[in-house]
Amino acid sequence: MPTVPDPDLVPFEPPVHPTIRAAFRNVIESYPRALYDGQGLVRYRTWFLDSVFVNEPELIRDILVARAHLFRRDDVARQLLSPMLGPTSLFMAEGADWRWQRRAVAPTFRHDKLLALVPTFSAIAVRQADRWRAAPRERPVDVAEAMAQTTLEVIVGTVLGSAGALDAQGFARALTTELDSFPWRFILTAFRAPPWLPYPGRRRAARAREHIYREAARLVAQRRRVSARADLLDLLLQARTSRSTSRSATECCSASGQALKSSSTASST
């Protein structure tokens, strides 16, 4: 990999071979170099996993949108991700259930609506950059913690539109607890362990998920009683369909927060 001139920045060096220890630190850290260097379709084989990673946008669209009916989520992915994202959410639904949910939320993520959120993204990024500039230069910076805080601010600013409606710290703790269980689930799922098998932190993660969904349901119910604020949650609530609108809005709110937090955790490695 090219040398990074900044002496305070240590570049990430993908491993030649994945290790379980790396997976416990961060699942993405365990991916071998071939997945970063390869283009299009890259096969990733170990003695307990045989996967194909798709690295090309056109192929990803083909799989997820254009010909989604030809692809299904395998049992490993479903066992791994359903506890975190919800078994019937847009992220995990398939067939007709997926199609109506996608049609319902598609207007929410139109290009013009996302562009309207850019000033919020920019202001939050500037605040974080200012916090880093103000920190003592001799003290190491915890990038993961900073990205978690930044992501939470994005969720509050764009999905909820107001910090007053959410117990931000409690929500962040619940998300962190849930994500901390992901390496254990990843390892056990990779080894085809039964989903009921206990692991360290399982009960804490289950309680955290319950808190996340209760908080999402409370926010949805609260927002239905107040005037529109033109944030993502309102746009999702306006995406009415003839089936399970309330459930869809609640799960989209919760799963969006989890996906945003997951992406920030990965980007901070």
Place of tokens 């600013």: 157
- Model confidence band, residue 242 (pLDDT cutoffs 50, 70, 90): very low
Alpha-carbon Rg for the chain in angstroms: 20
pLDDT band at 204 (very low <50, low <70, confident <90, very high): very high
Closest by CA to 181, choosing from 245, 98, 258, is 258
pLDDT in tens, 81-135: 888 777 877 778 888 888 877 777 777 778 888 888 899 899 999 999 898 888 8
- Please tell me the predicted confidence (pLDDT) of residue 202: 92
Quickly state the pLDDT bin for 183 (edges 50, 70, 90): confident
- Among candidate residues 126, 112, 116, 124, the one with its CA nearest the CA of residue 154: 124
Which of 60-69, 179-188, 256-265 shows the lowest mean pLDDT across its residues?
A: 256-265
pLDDT at 249: 54
Note the pLDDT tens digit of each residue in 5-64: 555 556 667 777 767 777 777 777 777 777 777 778 888 777 767 788 888 889 998 988
Question: Which residue intervals of the chain are DSSP H helices?
Answer: 20-25, 34-37, 57-61, 75-85, 95-105, 111-115, 118-134, 143-154, 168-180, 182-190, 202-224, 232-238, 245-267
Quickly state the pLDDT bin for 207 (edges 50, 70, 90).
very high
pTM: 0.66
Please give the Cα distance from 173 to 229 (Å, whole number).
26
- pLDDT at residue number 9: 58
Average pLDDT, the chain: 75
Say if CB 46 and CB 186 are below 8 A apart: no
How many degrees, rounded to 5, is the angle at CA 207 between CA 202 and CA 210? 125
**What pLDDT digit, counting tens, does each position of 158-171 carry?**
776 665 567 777 87
Please tell me the predicted confidence (pLDDT) of residue 203. Answer: 92
List CB contacts of 94: < 8 A, sequence separation 6 or more: 72, 73
Q: Strand, helix or coil at 198? A: coil
